[in-house]
Every structure is written in structure tokens, then in C-alpha cells.
Amino acid sequence: MRILVLDPRFGAAGDMILGALLSLGADKDFVLRSVSTVSKPDITEVTRAGIPATYIRTNTGKSARNLQEVLAVISAADAPEKAKEIAKQVFYRIQKAEAHVHQTEHVHFHEVGADDAISDILGSVTALLSLQVDGVHILPVSVGSGTLKCSHGIMPVPAPATAEILKASALSVSLGSFEGELCTPTGAALLAAFQEIFGTHIHTGRLIASGSGAGTRDPADHPNVLLAYVLDTEEKGSEVDVLETNVDDVSGELLASVLSTMMHEGARDASVVPIVMKKGRPGHLIRVISLPADSGRLAKILARETGSLGIRCIPMVHRFIADRTIAEEHIVINDKVFAVNVKTASMDGAIYSRKAEFDDLQRIADASGISVRTVKRIVEEDAWKTQ
């Protein structure tokens, strides 16, 4: 597994996060295209306290937009749908925090400029997706100390909106540290979303990439950078989370739909077990196997799909994983050639299982007029001959 580790010990802002991801090798053209409707960023290499870092200048100027206007801009962007959806979630976090602080739902994003924030947020999410990591681990966030000057006057550090975002997140926070605002609302919201959607406890492995994103200031007492690393874990996918919930009011059709949905959303496995619940009520245990990076997202989907009030998570269960490959094989039935995918499992270099994909077997059976069971025997016997 490839794990992204973000180290905001010197703080975090939207431009720092985007710069750090680009310095790790995120797809620059992909990012620039995604933000092209609001900005044309300059990307340069700088040093902060002697540390090389990537610096982003969005070139947007000041702007003010309400939430619906921001969401419309994101929807129109030339970016992946997943990136746009996550970017919207980030703005929902900021809007919720600002509404709480100002006691109004009519929030305008104006402190750093709405277009600037859109560029940093959508660009950062697109950059993260382009890295194709399996999870994100975020180290404690330093917020700084003292006061800051903003459109509302002199405010404490962390700013009230930043504090609200961090309070609502699962991020660890370090108060004090260096003078000034180290973590901005945009930085806090991005990190909180990354933690919720991609978060994992895994943060050890072989270091395969490192980089850093620069903030605008260059103070004398610390490097104004966000550090980033990519780790290749020693055991690929050997740790999983187990999600469970008991239900007694879900029909068989809905149970089948839940299993299908969970697999489609990235679960490694999903099953339903008949159980007897309290007071002798018949029910079902739904169990979902998930990579740690996906468990938070899948738990929410499972709750929505079933109406469950709580999802149990048994974290970081070790599992044995065989070496496996999937290869396309070809068989001849009734003078016709059919392609079928066969999954091969091995241990210590020795193959111990060859299984054909059922959907391919069903397709061949329908086309040839032979039973699925017979097609399966023919395919797998032929596959074993190629060992």
C-alpha cells in the first residue's frame, strides 16, 4: 500500500497543501486544468529557512461569493466528479464553522478571496487523487499563537473558524508553538476532509517520496512549510477494518442491495448473517471488510443504506493475503473461442487455486447453451494445464 503522510508541524494552508502534493509528483497539468475556471496559478520552487519547497501563487485577487455560488463554480470545473464532490464537502465544513462563529447562515467567503480558496481546495483534492495513494495519515496540526488581523479586526490564534473546524474533526492539534497564524480555515478544512475520507493509522514503511509546500511568509524562527511523504508499507493490504451492524427491519431485497452497494463503493468483502437479537427478534448481522483508509466513508454509507443508528468498527485486523493474479484465458467450446478471466492464488511460489470469474462463466454458458457448472469445469481444468 502507498500511504501519504502529511506533517503540519509548522502549520497548514491551502496553498501549502497543494504545493506539498505537487512536490510529491501530483499531476501538474491535471491540477491546472481543474482550477482553470478560477485561476492560472504560478508554481515556483522556493526555500523557507533553507528547506526547498513548492510555492503556489493563485493570481486571483480578492473576491466574495456565497456558498451556492462557490458550489456552482466547482460544479462547472474541468475536474473529476470525485474531486468536485470532496471540494464541496470542504466548503461545507468552512461554511458550517463560519455560520457558527457569526451566528448566521448567510456566509460569504471573502477573507482570502473565494476564488483563491476554490483554487487551493479543488487543486489540492485533484492533486491528492492523482497521486493514487491508498490512505492518508496526518500528524498533529500546529495552529500557532498570539493574534491575527482580519476583516473582523484583531482575532485570537487559532481563528474562531479554524478552531470550529478542528473541533469537529478527528485531527490532533498542537497549540502554542510559533507566533502567528500557522493553520488557516482552508488548511484545517482540507486536512479534516482528507482525514475523514482517506484517513488511516498506518504511518510506517519504506519512504519512496518526500516534498514540501511553502507558505507566503519566510519567518526567521521556523520553516513555513508543510512536509509530505509517501510510504510503501511492507505488508500490502494486510490490515483491514471490520465494520458491523445489526438490523431487524431490513427486507431481503434491501439487504442484497446493501451488499452490492458496499462492494461497488470499495469494500473488500461484504456478508449478511442471520442472527437472533434481543427479546428473541430475528435479524441480520451485516459485516463489511474495509481497508482502513475507506472505513470511515464506508461506515457512513452503511448507516445511510440501512438506517442503522451505529456502526461498530473493529480496527486494524491482520489478515493473510495470498499472492494473486488475474489473467485472461481462452477456451474453445462448440468451435467458438471465448475469453474468460481466471484468478490464480499462490503461496511461497506454489499455485494452490485457480478460479474462473463467475460473470464470464455465465456469459459463456448463455452463449454456448452449456450449464455454468460444466463451463466452470472446462475452464478451470484447462487453466490448471497451463501451470
Which residue would you say has higher pLDDT here, 77 or 178? 77
Q: What is the pLDDT of residue 276?
A: 95
Helix (H, G, I), strand (E, B) or coil at 187: helix
User: Which of the residue ranges 5-9, 240-244, 265-269, 302-306 would you say has the lowest mean pLDDT?
Assistant: 265-269
User: Confidence class of residue 55 from pLDDT cuts 50, 70 and 90?
Assistant: very high
User: Which of the residue ranges 224-233, 281-290, 332-341 would you say has the lowest mean pLDDT?
Assistant: 332-341
Q: What is the pLDDT of residue 384?
A: 85
Q: What is the pLDDT of residue 293?
A: 77
Say how far apart CA 33 and CA 84 lie, in whole Å: 13
| Whether the predicted pLDDT of 143 surpasses 90 | yes
Q: What is the pLDDT of residue 274?
A: 95
- How is residue 61 written as a grid cell? 485577487
pLDDT digits (tens, 9 = 90+) for 79-138: 989 899 999 999 999 999 988 876 665 555 544 458 999 999 999 999 999 998 988 999
Share of the chain above pLDDT 70, in %: 93
Q: What is the pLDDT of residue 152?
A: 65
What lies within 8 Å, CB to CB, of 88 at 6+ separation is: 71, 74
Q: What is the pLDDT of residue 2?
A: 86
Is the dihedral angle over the CA atoms 20, 23, 29, 32 positive or is it negative?
Answer: positive
Fold of 323-385: Ubiquitin-like (UB roll) (3.10.20)
Domain assignments of the chain as residue spans, ordered by start: 2-232, 239-318, 323-385
Place domain 239-318 in its CATH homologous superfamily: Transcriptional regulatory protein pf0864 domain like (3.30.70.1380)
Say how far apart CA 49 and CA 35 lie, in whole Å: 29
- How is residue 274 written as a grid cell? 442471520
pTM of the model: 0.64
User: Confidence class of residue 236 from pLDDT cuts 50, 70 and 90?
Assistant: low
Residue with cell 511460489: 349
12 secondary structure, DSSP code: B
Is there a contact between 225 and 16 (Cβ–Cβ < 8 Å)? yes
Q: Which phi-psi region, left, alpha or beta, contains residue 76 (left: φ > 0; alpha: ψ -120 to 50)?
A: alpha
Which one, of 159, 153, 141, 145, lies nearest residue 101 by Cα?
A: 159
Q: What is the pLDDT of residue 295?
A: 87
Judging by DSSP bridges, how do beta strands 65-66 and 108-109 pair with one another?
A: antiparallel
| Whether the predicted pLDDT of 240 surpasses 50 | yes
Which one, of 335, 377, 333, lies nearest residue 354 by Cα?
A: 377
User: Which of the residue ranges 117-126, 223-232, 327-336 would you say has the lowest mean pLDDT?
Assistant: 327-336
Q: What is the pLDDT of residue 326?
A: 78
User: Which of the residue ranges 188-197, 303-312, 341-350 would you say has the lowest mean pLDDT?
Assistant: 341-350
Mean pLDDT taken over the chain: 88
Which one, of 10, 225, 18, lies nearest residue 118 by Cα?
A: 18
